[in-house]
Amino acid sequence: MSTSAQDQHSFGSPASGMTRSYTSPRTLFGIVMTLLAGACLIIALIPLFLVLFYVLTQGASRLNLDLFTKLPPPPGLKGGGVGNAIIGTLMTVGIGTLISLPFGVLAAVYLSEFSKGKTARWIRFATNVLAGVPSIIAGIFAYGIIVVTMGGFSAVAGGVALAVLMLPTIVRTTDEALQIVPQDIRWASVGVGASNYQTVLRIVLPAAIPAIITGVTLAIARAAGETAPLIFTALNSPFWPRGIWKPTPSLSVLIYNFASVPFEAQKELAWAASFLLVVLILLTSILARWATRKSVY
């Protein structure tokens, strides 16, 4: 019976075998790796806190009514605001939303309601690839189709570029929102004699609306912060916007231009504009999380 005794010895007694030895290499390895992974998380969060800290402290000090109602000051002068850029951002983002919202929602309706199999797979694939297209490429696309043909920089060109960037987000979120709607209510609708468009427009879309609105809001917030596609489509302007076919200022392009200007007043406005954008995005992200918790069915 010596072998079995030896076996037992090599495994240790039951009691000591089940306790973790804090000096065994396996445990030490685990502790070291846990610390390393925790350090990764902390390092990942440091820039977030630093960016938020600087934007909130630098931007908040410049927060007053003038910021929303005045034009940026000429170089060297103090005061002023970013009122024209706020309106310009609303204009370009508004045009982008007007184009991409009906387009994206109806395309998603086809994907989730009427398509089957292969076509839908390919379209979803293309949508995901479109989501990865660099924003500056959307800019040169809009430049190529609007700025060149219409003969000038305009809010419309900026809006088209933003629409290209918003489209995949809207299609994807709407598609997902529609798929969550239970199948039963479609059958119920068809069962009482509704046609396809009645089922979709009166039953399925209303049921998915909270999730769709959430997705669209996130897309709009993201578009409001986009800069690259605007710097050569909507360009910029130091004046109040004068129409959708004229060069149009925006908060993001203003930040870009004022970041490299050697005047203190302009730098302050750049931080203040960043503050507005970041607060907008923070609020929409938090609201979106809160809104998606509720569901209609």
Partner 1 sequence: MATQAQNSPAGIQPRSKTEKTLDQAFVWLTRILALAVAGVLIYVAVVVGIRAMPAIAKYGLGFLFSSAWNPVNETYGALPMIYGTIVSAALALLFAIPLGVGTAVFLSENFLPLSVRTPLIFMVELLAAIPSVVYGLWGIFVLIPFLLPIGGWLHTNFGWLPIFNTPLRGPGMLPAAIILTIMILPIITAISRDSLGSLPPDLRQASLGLGATRWETLFRVLIPAAFSGIVGGIMLALGRAMGETMAVTMIIGNANNLNISLLAPANTIASLLANQFAEASGLQVAALMYAGLVLFLITLIVNVLAELIVRQVKKF
Residue 26 CB, shortest distance to partner 1, in Å, is 5
Q: Which of 112, 223, 240 is nearest to 176 (CA)?
A: 112
Q: How many CB atoms lie within 10 A of CB 127?
A: 20
Q: What is the distance between the alpha carbons of residues 90 and 177, in angstroms, rounded to a whole number? A: 26
Nearer to partner 1, 86 or 277 (CB): 277
Please tell me the distance from the alpha carbon of residue 275 to that of residue 281, in angstroms, as a whole number.
Answer: 10
- Tell me the two tokens of residue 85: 């850029």
What one-character-per-residue DSSP string does 65-102 give?
Answer: HHHHHSPPPPTT------HHHHHHHHHHHHHHHHHHHH
Whose CA is closest to 284, among 212, 220, 210?
A: 220
CA distance 79 to 57: 18
Minimum gap (Å) between residue 2 Cβ and partner 1: 26
For partner 1, the closer CB: 27 or 295? 27
Query: Based on CB atoms, which residue is closest to partner 1, 65 or 99?
Result: 99
Nearer to partner 1, 246 or 267 (CB): 267
Residues in the chain, overall count: 297
Sign (positive or negative) of CA dihedral 61, 66, 69, 72: negative
Residue 2 vs 118, nearer CB to partner 1: 118
C-beta of 68: minimal distance to partner 1 in Å?
A: 19
Shortest CA distance to 167 belongs to which of 140, 147, 138, 145? Answer: 138
Shorter beta-carbon distance to partner 1: residue 94 or 115: 115
